[in-house]
């Protein structure tokens, strides 16, 4: 039986800012882009969440909900520094660490001998050390597999610890709402509700064939998760499959020539990021466009040769007739030849966020 811990920092970017500036304590704060430049909220503290503010919300909308909201510019280098401190604490107990982002990771402590092998006591020690040494709080979930550990870490936020023992798995899962399953968002939950599926207990009465018919290949996961089954291993090394950069413009881009100029700037940034990524084989390239009225299209083409600005300009010209409108966002990127899907995305120039494999970037 595996012993998995999922650790998730509480309001990570905001917590770091509050730690570094105690005068902000008790006030609603968000970290993200400026409202007058079409910025979005990366994260916010619980005082801000009380107003209905959440991640990915346009900053302008957040300000309307809470005029007193303090919006702070992201400090990615500081967040990476803090993430490295936290990873060092994880490493005291296991080398089996799978980062999901700067602020969360899976740990397999099945072979850890500390605290007589108690995963619960290891999680308690990690949370205590993060609070004492780093100055922020972290929530954790302990369970026999990744699915349940992730659900558990979100069960008692902030600054919580939830443990699901093997003997408790069946009872816990039966009462679990489907919206708690990773991958079940509002749209999927609504689809499930149409078939009177609201909990894992409801999923259990459906055959695998029914779930595959209703939800495609995701039906396999739903079938297993409804029984508390997740055989995925904690994987310390994950291969990035794609890398992209994109810009949300302060003012809409009008005309294909202006769009090409933006692609030129993005291509310079993409080359920088690719040099950081190291020697990787390309399997494709893509351009993403989003119009002022939020329509979106992506042109994706196989490509295993040298990258060039002309390649992305050609993809832009191919995508342009689909939109034929002012653009609020342009993105370009490449896909690598890799077995596991991993996306790193940089939003420029108003907000930059790096995700998924940044623990490895800190090595």
pLDDT digits (tens, 9 = 90+) for 157-202: 999 999 999 999 999 999 999 999 988 988 899 999 999 999 999 9
The CATH class that applies to domain 242-349 reads alpha beta
- The chain-wide mean pLDDT, for the chain, equals 87
Tokens of 310: 């002309």
| Residue % of the chain over a pLDDT of 90 | 64
Two domains, one topology: 4-10+77-165 and 170-225:
no
Where are the chain's structural domains?
4-10+77-165, 13-72, 170-225, 242-349
What pLDDT, on the 0 to 100 scale, is given for residue 196? 95
**Which segments are annotated as binding site for Mg(2+)?**
8, 103
Higher pLDDT, 240 or 132: 132
In the annotation, is 96 catalytic? no
State the CATH architecture for 170-225: Orthogonal Bundle (1.10)
Tokens of 238: 């994950």
**Contact predicate 47/14, CB 8 Å:** no
**How many CB atoms sit inside 10 A of residue 308's CB?**
12
Asked if the model's pLDDT at residue 204 lies above 90, the reply is yes
Higher pLDDT, 346 or 115: 115
Peptide bond into 158 cis (omega under 30): yes
**Contact predicate 60/335, CB 8 Å:** no
Domain 4-10+77-165 of CATH type 3.30.70.270 = yes
Average pLDDT over residues 255-270: 89
Window from 30-34, 102-106, 274-278 with minimum mean pLDDT: 274-278
Catalytic one of 104, 246, 313, 353: 104
**Which segments are annotated as binding site?**
8, 103
The CATH class that applies to domain 13-72 reads alpha beta
């Amino acid at each position: 039986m595996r012993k998995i811990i999922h650790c998730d920092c509480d309001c990570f970017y905001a917590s770091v800012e509050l730690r570094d500036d105690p005068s902000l304590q008790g006030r609603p704060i968000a970290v993200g882009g400026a409202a007058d430049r079409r910025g979005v909220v990366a994260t916010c503290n619980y005082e801000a969440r009380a107003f209905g503010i959440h991640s990915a919300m346009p900053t302008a909308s957040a300000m309307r909900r809470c005029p007193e909201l303090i919006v702070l510019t992201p400090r990615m280098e500081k967040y990476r520094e803090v993430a490295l401190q936290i990873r060092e604490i994880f490493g005291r107990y296991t080398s089996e660490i799978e980062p999901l982002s700067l602020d969360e990771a899976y740990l397999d402590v099945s072979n850890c001998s500390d605290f007589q092998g108690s995963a619960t006591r290891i999680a308690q020690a990690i949370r205590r050390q993060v609070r004492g040494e780093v100055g922020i709080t972290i929530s954790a979930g302990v369970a026999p597999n990744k699915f349940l550990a992730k659900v558990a870490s979100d069960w008692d936020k902030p600054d919580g610890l939830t443990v699901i023992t093997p003997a408790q798995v069946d009872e816990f899962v039966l009462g679990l709402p489907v919206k708690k399953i990773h991958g079940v968002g509002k749209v999927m939950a609504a689809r499930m509700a149409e078939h009177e599926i609201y909990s894992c207990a409801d999923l259990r009465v459906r055959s695998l064939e029914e779930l595959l018919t209703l939800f495609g290949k995701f039906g396999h996961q739903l079938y297993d998760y409804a029984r508390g089954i997740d055989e995925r291993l904690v994987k310390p090394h994950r291969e990035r499959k794609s890398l992209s950069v994109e810009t949300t413009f302060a003012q809409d881009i009008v005309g294909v020539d202006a769009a090409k100029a933006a692609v030129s700037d993005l291509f310079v940034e993409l080359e920088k990021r690719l040099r950081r990524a190291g020697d990787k084989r390309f399997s494709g390239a893509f351009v993403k466009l989003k119009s002022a009225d939020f329509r979106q299209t992506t042109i994706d083409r196989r490509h295993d040769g040298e990258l060039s600005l002309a390649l992305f300009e050609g993809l832009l010209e191919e995508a342009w007739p689909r939109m034929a409108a002012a653009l609020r966002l342009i993105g370009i990127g490449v896909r690598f030849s890799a077995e596991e899907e991993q996306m790193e995305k940089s939003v420029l120039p108003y907000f930059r966020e790096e995700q998924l494999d940044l623990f490895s970037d800190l090595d």
